[in-house]
Amino acid sequence: MKKPVDGHFLHRSSVVSAESDALGMDVCFSSQRFPREQLSRLSPRRAITERDMSKSKPTRDAARSTGPLKYNFGWRRVVRNFSPSWFAATMGTGIVAVLMNSVPFHTPVLYYLSIVFFLLNVVIFSLALITSVLRYTLYPEIWRVMIQDPTNSLFLATVPMGFATLIEMWVFICVPRWGPWATSVAWALWMVDVVAAASVTLSLSFILISQRHITSLDRITALQLLPIAATIVAAGVGAKIAYILPNEQHAMGTLLVSFVLWGMGIPLALAVLVIYYQRLAVHKLPPREAIVSCFLPLGPLGFGGFGIIYIGKVARELLQGSDILDPIAGSMAYVLGIFISLLMWSFGLIWLVFALATVLYSSPFPFNMGWWGFTFPLGVYAANTMELGVELDLMFFKIFGTILSTAVLLLWALVASRTAVGAWRGNLFFAPCLQNLTLKEEDGETDGAQHRA
């Protein structure tokens, strides 16, 4: 029995509405078009006019029909609809672990809390990775649809960033306990993360600018910062690993790579922020379903400032006894790192105020996976704040960073609990981009039938 017409052809506004309600930031706008010539070739039973499409209002169940009926139940539905945006949960959980270990007011409770969050993040990341591998192994056609989508593909950057938080906690927890071999493991894992982060930044950025369809200014979102932030996060973690490497040559090479990664990400992130500010000034605030994305600018600014401090700190140590540059170059790098970090913190403060005001102005707004955008950007900004407090020995930054860390912990508890409930009920397992796959398959079947006729 053939599916109803609405299951095949959804008006663009209806698709956007269903997607926005389901995943918020993980919104995939279908690029599928139906010209008049194609519509005229359809059989009478499936023929539909543009006017009919504008009047059609599909139900949620119709919008969620993303393939054969067996794909919409049980484990197949979970695997098939497990989009890359789920790795944002690993980023949010990982940054909580990092913050519990970085609070300047050390207590045993915070240390053991960081271990608990670290182990929890290992479990979450492992489950997400296994499910993603199953998704693209069992349904390889989904990869092509996902990577071609201008929004959903951006969430691939959450994979190396979530992995980077695991490496950072390995450095904090495992290296002091297990010694040299743990250091070597951290270094090797960081190399893997560097390759993944650089690949994501370069490939996704090029895909974004090489797509045939033109993206209007009102469609620009802060999500475009995600692939850029991947190299910035890898740079900050690399600076920490360079700090613990016993071999000076290895440490120097790691430091240089970290600085290159930082240079790849920060200028491009600032350019995107300029475009994003113009979009906000011209087209005003984003829709309520994607309002949490206003926190994303804090990500590259926060971890960028945090990373440049550590790069300068390690440079000061390594260049003192090195013949590469004058020993004073290390001290200059450290001082410049502090000032650059302070500038980025100040710029981030503006975006923090904008984000808080936007949330207050737009509340209430529905829960979706986009709420994980509260945790990581605000968390890395808190980490930069506390690091400035430690290096400058200023109590204001230490206290303010601790307050922000507490807010991140509370936000994590809220978002994690609602995510667990939504996952248990199955409400959050919905990948809107699969609609593109369904439409392409139906288009191919129609062309094949016409060819046989």
Q: In the block, which residue shows the tokens 């926005």?
A: 20
Q: pLDDT at position 193, please?
A: 97
Q: Where in the chain is the domain with CATH 1.50.10.150?
A: 82-428
Q: How far is it, in rounded angstroms, from Cα 275 to Cα 271? A: 7
Q: In the block, which residue shows the tokens 């490939």?
A: 203
Exposure string of 52-72, with b = 16+ CB inside 10 Å and e = fewer, is ebeebebeeebbbbbbeeebe
pTM over 0.75: yes
Q: How far is it, in rounded angstroms, from Cα 17 to Cα 257? A: 43
DSSP assignment letter at 171: I
- CB distance 306 to 383 below 8 Å: yes
CATH for 82-428, options being 2.60.40.10, 1.10.760.10, 1.50.10.150, 3.60.21.10? 1.50.10.150
Q: In 60-179, which residue ranges form alpha helices assigned H by DSSP?
A: 60-63, 74-80, 88-102, 108-138, 141-148, 158-169, 175-178
- CB distance 306 to 338 below 8 Å: no
Q: pLDDT at position 312, please?
A: 95
Q: What is the pLDDT along the chain (453 residues), one digit of tens a residue?
A: 444 434 333 333 333 333 343 344 444 333 333 443 443 444 333 333 333 333 334 344 433 445 555 556 667 888 888 889 899 999 999 999 999 999 999 889 999 999 999 999 999 999 999 999 999 999 988 888 888 887 888 999 999 999 999 999 999 999 999 989 999 999 999 999 999 999 999 999 888 888 777 778 888 889 999 999 999 999 999 999 999 999 999 999 999 999 999 999 999 999 999 999 999 999 999 888 888 889 999 999 999 999 999 999 999 998 887 777 777 888 999 999 999 999 999 999 999 999 999 999 988 888 888 899 899 999 999 999 999 999 999 999 999 999 999 999 999 999 999 999 988 887 787 776 777 675 555 444 444 445 554
pLDDT in tens, 330-366: 899 999 999 999 999 999 999 999 999 999 998 888 8
Q: Following CA atoms 12, 14, 18, 24 in sequence, which dihedral angle do they give, to the nearest 10 degrees?
A: 50
- CB distance 435 to 10 below 8 Å: yes
Peptide bond into 180 cis (omega under 30): no
DSSP output for 378-401: HHHHHHHHHHHHHHHT-HHHHHHH
Burial of residue 176 (number of CB atoms within 10 Å: 0-12, 13-18, 19+): exposed
Q: Let me know the angle formed at the C-alpha of 327 by 323 and 328, rounded to the nearest 5 degrees.
A: 150
The two three-digit tokens of residue 110, written as one number: 């915070």
